[in-house]
Amino acid sequence: MSSFSQSARSLLFSGVLILVFFAMAHFLKSSIQANPMRSAGSASLGMGILHGAFMPLALVPLLANQDVPIYDVRNTGRPYHIGYIIGVNLCGLIFIPPMVEGIKMGWGLIRKRKHHP
């Protein structure tokens, strides 16, 4: 199998992974908006993990000058904070390596084209 087909498969996988992530974020956002007073309880470890995992998605609306919540102020304290940190790190662990690999492959393809017209 040629390296280009491996590159294409890796980029395709990264794209599908990103689409799945955005679909999950959209579903989570719509479910939260549908029921803003979801319960009388405070957000705990599980919600902290979800909020942390989806926090990077807030960058796009924030750059578009929309104020979006990235943190639940009604939380249980340390368990929520630990969950939030775990979620942010899980998101990075899942998405950063494929992005870096895609960038490396892209630069490799550009270099090959420059040396072999």
What digits encode the pLDDT tens for the residues 49-100?
889 988 888 888 888 888 888 888 888 888 889 999 999 999 888 888 887 8
d(CA 40, CA 69): 19
Residue-level pLDDT at 85 = 92
- Which pair of structure tokens corresponds to residue 106? 């892209």
Render pLDDT for 1-43 as a digit per residue (tens, 0 to 9): 455 677 777 777 777 777 777 776 666 665 555 445 445 578 8
Domain membership of residue 66 as a residue range: 3-36+43-115
d(CA 84, CA 47): 8
What is the total count of domains within the chain?
1
Q: How confident is the model at residue 104 (pLDDT cuts 50, 70, 90)?
A: confident
Q: What is the DSSP string of 44-61?
A: -HHHHHHHHHHGGGGHHH
Contact partners, residue 101, CB within 8 Å, separation at least 6? 10, 14
Q: How many CB atoms lie within 10 A of CB 55?
A: 18
Q: pTM score > 0.75 for this model?
A: no
